[in-house]
Structure 1
Amino acid sequence: MRTLVYLIEDDPDISKLISRTLKQQGMQVVCLRKLSELEIAMKKQVPDLCLIDLSLPDGDGMSLLQDAGNLGTLPKIVVTGRGNVTDRVVGLEIGADDYVVKPFEPRELVARVRAVLRRYSSSSTPNSQPIGQNVEFGEWAADFNACILIHTDGSIETLSASESSLLKVFVESAGRVLSRDQLLDATVGHHDGPFDRSMDARISRLRKKLRDDPKTPKLIRTVYGAGYVFSAAPRKDGE
């Protein structure tokens, strides 16, 4: 089946450009102008990925990134004219899998869409040990199919596609130091120059959901000058 993309963009020219570009790559695109139109479309069919403009007629696209009950586990890429660092970091911290600033090169957008879809479907690092879709570590149980974390106290944390992918990479490589480049290769598939620091924002977001104190983290430790290491030994179902 063709990849289904929901494009939430109120500028007709940009909408046509993106739609035409993705359709040329064999994808199916549904163009929407408002948040309200997305809500109606979601009730009919769930897409494989959403492209989200931030400035929409009936609200701020940031609200979609924060709404775990709506698009929480779907891959999401922000496509916007708001290119300042604050907006980028906030967007990534609250759930975007990537952030593209207008004007953009259509081929780059296609590459980013494909990279996010790859990241969502599977992740691996060299010498990692494949795990199942359910694993336990420390006080947590992760369900990578459902993109959720379940704490021993019964509370549930919803993960975005990028967070779930990143956590799976860490769990598969528990005890090994992973550089930022390795993590980017495994979970993004492309590098974004000086903005590769976005990986730090993703890790910060994941630590927060794991209740891992950023000042003295116990699960995802920073190895200065080298990268990060996941310190909890994973336990598969039945162990």
Structure 2
Amino acid sequence: MSRPLITILDDEPEIRQILTETLEEAGFRTQSFSRAREFEASLNRVTPDVCLVDLSLPDTDGLALVHRLALEQGAAVIIISGRAQVQDRVTGLELGADDYITKPFDPAEVVARIRARLRGGPRTVATTGNTAQFSGWTAHFDRYILEDDTGEETPFSHAEGEVLRLFLESPKRLISRAQMQESLGGGAGESFDRAMDVRISRLRTKLREDPKNPRLIKTIYGAGYIFLGDVSWL
């Protein structure tokens, strides 16, 4: 089985070297880039398993790049940035990042976060197909597209897709935060809770839910969530 490929985009050579050495010692393959243009060109040739992306890049806006990656690539996206403000974290997650690590970081933590993402991804993909129908919607997980009953398409990110698939694989059953953490991985505690809140809010918007009274993704306060639609996998 091929070792997972991790791409590193950071304009600091010391950071690239630390991450490359640490990840390769941990058993991953790596590619590193100092410029977004070279990084994006590489995506036309191969899709990495995880992209590590710095936000402060000399040739592009890092947040805009994260958003493009989340919508267009099947890879998980982890931001590694010196921007430690809460709003930066929230914005990164809202734009589709799977996780957010601040500099300075412990290389061992980066390895652990990557392994958590890789554990979350394949487990959710393996049990069902790539297309599900529910409540007038069709979710195409191979294309990261939601299609309504008129054929109008709305893209969703890799991170949003993980949560949606988790709901669709367990309809009409309570899914606790602990179960979501176990299935999806990622940072623990408040960071994980905030990431889930952001992804679920974005999914509700894309499913045209009433935020005050959602009909599909119900919050059970203090317990978790229930997806109320009837689901069929194609």
By the TM > 0.5 criterion, same fold?
A: yes
More moved, 153-162 vs 217-226: 153-162
Specify the code of the residue in structure 1 equivalent to 2:133: E
After superposition, give the CA deviation of every residue in 1:7-57 in whole Å (9 maximum; x if it has no partner): 100111111101111111121111111111112222232222210000001
**Helix, strand or coil at the partner of 1:36:** helix
Query: Identity across aligned pairs (percent)?
Result: 40
Secondary structure at 1:174 match in 2: coil
The aligned residue for residue 30 of structure 1 is 31
Q: What secondary structure sits across from 2:83 in the alignment?
A: coil
Secondary structure at 2:118 match in 1? helix
Uncovered stretches (5+) of structure 2, i.e. residues with no partner: none
- Tell me, which stretches of 5 or more residues in structure 1 are unaligned? 125-129
1:98-113 equivalences in 2 (<5 Å): 98-113=99-114
Q: Count the aligned residue pairs.
A: 231
- 2:196 equivalent to 1:199: yes
* Deviation at residue 224 of structure 1 after TM alignment: 1.5
Query: CA contact under 8 A between 1:65 and 1:71: conserved in structure 2?
Result: no
What is the CA–CA distance in structure 1 between the aligned matches of 2:170 and 2:145, rounded to whole Å? 19
CA-to-aligned-CA distance 1:149-169 (integer Å, 9 cap, x gap): 221121222222221111111
Task: Write out aligned runs for 1:1-239 (5 A).
Answer: 1-67=2-68, 71-123=72-124, 130-188=127-185, 190-197=186-193, 198-237=195-234
Q: TM-score, normalised by structure 2?
A: 0.91
Q: What TM-score does the superposition give when structure 1 sets the normalisation length?
A: 0.90
**Once the 2 structures are TM-superposed, how far is the Cα of residue 110 of structure 1 from its aligned partner?**
0.5
Write the distance in 1 (CA, Å) between the matches of 2:144 and 2:213: 26
In 1, the alpha carbon distance for the partners of 2:136 and 2:66 equals 27
Contact 2:70 2:97 in 1 (8 A): no
Decide whether aligned partners of structure 1 residues 157 and 72 sit closer, same or farther in structure 2, where only a CA change above 3 A counts: farther
Output the CA distance in 2 between the equivalents of 1:144 and 1:108.
29
Distance 1:83 1:46, change over 3 A: same
Cα distance in 1, alignment partners of residues 45 and 198 from structure 2: 33
**Partner Cα separation in structure 1 for residue 21 and residue 158 of structure 2:** 26
Residue 33 of structure 1 aligns with an amino acid whose one-letter code is S
Contact 1:120–1:162 (CA under 8 A) maintained in structure 2: no
Q: Quote how far apart the aligned CAs of 1:205 are.
A: 1.6
| 1:233, distance to aligned residue in structure 2 (A) | 1.1
The whole-number CA distance in structure 1 between the counterparts of 2:129 and 2:70 is 25
Cα gap change, 1:132/1:41 in structure 2, threshold over 3 Å: closer, same or farther?
closer
Match of 1:51, SS state, is strand
Note the aligned Cα RMSD (angstroms).
Answer: 1.8
More helix by share: 2
